[in-house]
Amino acid sequence: AAFVAGERRLVEAFFTCEMQTTAEMLGKAYAVLGRRRAKILEERVKDGTDIFVIDARLPVVESFGLVDELRKHTSGAAQCQLV
């Protein structure tokens, strides 16, 4: 009864994305994330390196083909992990 009487809403599943890239490819990595409707949560530099780490939320539906597009646009200089 509560299901029928309750308010309906549409929800979308998200992955947490951790992307690592060099400073030279940072703009291209952001472009890929932007095209895929990612919400940037944080950007930081790995201690003792020139590697940038971007934490973002990415819709699951936008994750298909992400690795290929990222590899293509950053010439393999960026990598990501989806959780």
| Residue pLDDT, tens place only, 26-77 | 999 999 999 999 999 999 999 999 999 999 999 999 999 999 999 999 999 9
Per-residue confidence (pLDDT) for residue 6, from 0 to 100: 79
Q: Which residues of 5-44 are buried (b: 16+ CB within 10 A; e: fewer)?
A: eeeeeeeeebbebbbbbeeebbebbbebbeebebeeeeee
Q: pTM for this structure?
A: 0.84
Per-residue confidence (pLDDT) for residue 42, from 0 to 100: 97
pLDDT at 83 over 90: yes
pLDDT at 3 over 90: no
